[in-house]
Amino acid sequence: MSVHEIYLNPDEAYAPHSLGYPDLQALMEDRYAHKVSGGLTILRRSLDARGSGVRAVIRFASSSSLEAKNVQGLPFRSQILGPNAPELHIVGAGPAGIFAALRCLEYGWRPIILERGQAVRERRRDVALLSREGHLNPDSNYCFGEGGAGTFSDGKLYTRSTKRGDIDTVLRLLIELGAPNEIAFEAHPHIGTNKLPGLIQKARQWIEAAGGYFHFGSRVEDLDLDKSCIKALLMHDGTRIPLNYMMLCTGHSSRDVYEMLDRCGLSLEPKALAMGVRVEHPQELVNRWRYRLRGETPQHWPVASYSVVEQVAGKGVYSFCMCPGGVIAPCSTHSSEVVTNGWSPSRRNNVTANSGWVTEICLADVPLDKARPAFSLLNFQQNIERRAAEMGGGQQWAPAQNLQHFVYPYDSKVKAMDSQSLGICSYRPGITPTLLNSLYPVEIQGRLSTGLHQWAKRWPGLLSPEAVVTGPESRTSSPIRIPRLDDSLHHPQCVNLFPVGEGAGYAGGIMSAILDARRSVDALIQQATQGGSSSL
């Protein structure tokens, strides 16, 4: 048997340095190398909280085995680009855009990245100002700028993709960029908001050193189209940029991009998404529930997370982007709107835990925009965010409510509850106590409340007086899909336009966006070289 599985106390598995070992790899090699030959490679670490006790599960194999080689792989190699290298213009410097650029380097293509926001250093100041004072820069914020929403996101690397080989390649590349080695074997790999900016900056250094280019503060306002081909990008400052190929990696919050494509006569499609609120609890409360503890959480145990799915009236209601030891962040892109999301630092050491609580919303749930059906769900999303801003009172303050009152507003036991009395909430710039359960239409609010009611049957502590709900959690994914052909991956009406990632409707997180970008670059270059030429 080439793969072995053993069980450890969580203290051993997650804090081996306290036992005299520098890391988990050293502990495993010392104790279990006799089980294999040719060294030892950890394949997976997970936590099993089922049954009577909590235990860590470690899978490992010989370093010479096929399973280990899939994890180890080869280092990233790029080419120094010559003056005549073929070019790909990438609009958007989020995870999809950056990893599309890195993939270009492997083929000897020159990536030219155009990003509306600022580089990480300047963007940090904009984000800090937003959190402290509620001052929003519409082009440089939690969503826009170098690294996109990924830079100041939680850094979760989960995906439902079954292409494990591709995932291993991306994880290895992230480690080379500075991510912790543990992401190669964690069941739920996570980098952390505090570490992501450094990775993003190092990726830019690699790209520029090889001959690629970044242009920040560069917003695309229009396209110069000639029949079925984009000839140039028209920028916000009046500059015209000719191109051969364009990859659109603008993320799900770039609403002006959808407007631009619609003006140009390029087809769009409505896409169902999930919306709801963000729920916050003391992290210790979550730990006690998940680990079935009566006392404090043991020192070296990882903070607990959860993933919950309920069914209400044939619709899914579920937790989304759960952030243990994290904070709630302001993620709007317009001063007249409020959007909440969450993130965790690498150590996940904040005192609160938060998660989105959302329900599926499809075209049948919202008013139809008869003139532009593809914009129906986006219109609904935008209206909810504007209403939330009004409820919050301005300056990016978010409406908030006690969770129990949010679920049971008319119950006699909670009817007299003072919605002004809220537990600790990590959201900055601040919260406004209000009747948040009036934000959504009755049917949607009913699904959210009923789902929480069903969940509370399994976890009574869910409705703790300390639990706070803020909203809205409205940007789980794109409400519009930019269509593309299944084989070539370009837009059906435009042979050199390649829509990619979350903003195009083909991804749902950092990892899936990266995988989609790499696949799209492969398809684009195959198309470009089939005729023996890298230009149209």
In this prediction, residue 1 carries a pLDDT of 60
- Which of 229, 224, 257 minimizes the C-alpha distance to 244? 229
What proportion of the chain, given as a percentage, has pLDDT over 70? 96
pLDDT in tens, 208-219: 999 999 999 999
Count CB-CB contacts under 10 A for residue 80. Answer: 10
The model carries a pTM of 0.94
**pLDDT tops 90 at residue 520:** yes
What would the mean pLDDT of 13-41 be, rounded to a whole number?
88
Reported confidence tier of residue 109, pLDDT bands at 50, 70, 90: very high
Reported confidence tier of residue 15, pLDDT bands at 50, 70, 90: confident
What would the mean pLDDT of 407-416 be, rounded to a whole number?
69
Measure CA 491 to chain center: 24
Reported confidence tier of residue 162, pLDDT bands at 50, 70, 90: low
DSSP one-letter code for 238: S
What would the mean pLDDT of 110-114 be, rounded to a whole number?
98
Determine the Cα–Cα distance for residues 184 and 181; give it in Å rounded to an integer.
6
pLDDT in tens, 422-456: 988 999 989 999 999 999 999 999 999 999 999 99
**pLDDT tops 70 at residue 534:** no
CATH of domain 87-267+480-530: 3.50.50.60
In this prediction, residue 535 carries a pLDDT of 47
In this prediction, residue 242 carries a pLDDT of 98
In this prediction, residue 453 carries a pLDDT of 97
What proportion of the chain, given as a percentage, has pLDDT over 90? 81
What would the mean pLDDT of 225-233 be, rounded to a whole number?
95
In this prediction, residue 38 carries a pLDDT of 81
Q: Which residue has the higher pLDDT, 535 or 30?
A: 30
**pLDDT tops 70 at residue 198:** yes
In this prediction, residue 536 carries a pLDDT of 54
**pLDDT tops 90 at residue 342:** yes
pLDDT in tens, 375-406: 999 999 999 999 999 999 999 999 999 999 99
Reported confidence tier of residue 201, pLDDT bands at 50, 70, 90: very high
Q: C-alpha distances in angstroms, 506 versus 18, 112, 160, 246, 248? A: 43, 22, 13, 17, 12
Backbone angles phi, psi at 123, to 5 degrees: -65, -35
pLDDT in tens, 472-515: 999 999 999 999 999 999 999 999 999 999 999 999 889 999 99
Reported confidence tier of residue 79, pLDDT bands at 50, 70, 90: confident
Structure tokens at 320: 């989304």
Listing DSSP states for 361-373 in one string gives: E-GGGS---SS-G
Q: Residue 202, SS3?
A: helix
- Which of 510, 411, 515, 412 minimizes the C-alpha distance to 149? 510
Q: Virtual CA dihedral for 339, 344, 345, 346, nearest 10 degrees?
A: -140
- Say which range, 63-77, 159-173, 353-367, has the weakest mean pLDDT: 159-173
Q: Virtual CA dihedral for 500, 382, 197, 98, nearest 10 degrees?
A: 10
Start and end residues for every CATH 3.50.50.60 domain found in the chain: 87-267+480-530
* Mean pLDDT, the chain, integer: 92
In this prediction, residue 533 carries a pLDDT of 47
In this prediction, residue 415 carries a pLDDT of 54
In this prediction, residue 165 carries a pLDDT of 54
Determine the Cα–Cα distance for residues 21 and 64; give it in Å rounded to an integer.
24
Determine the Cα–Cα distance for residues 206 and 508; give it in Å rounded to an integer.
26
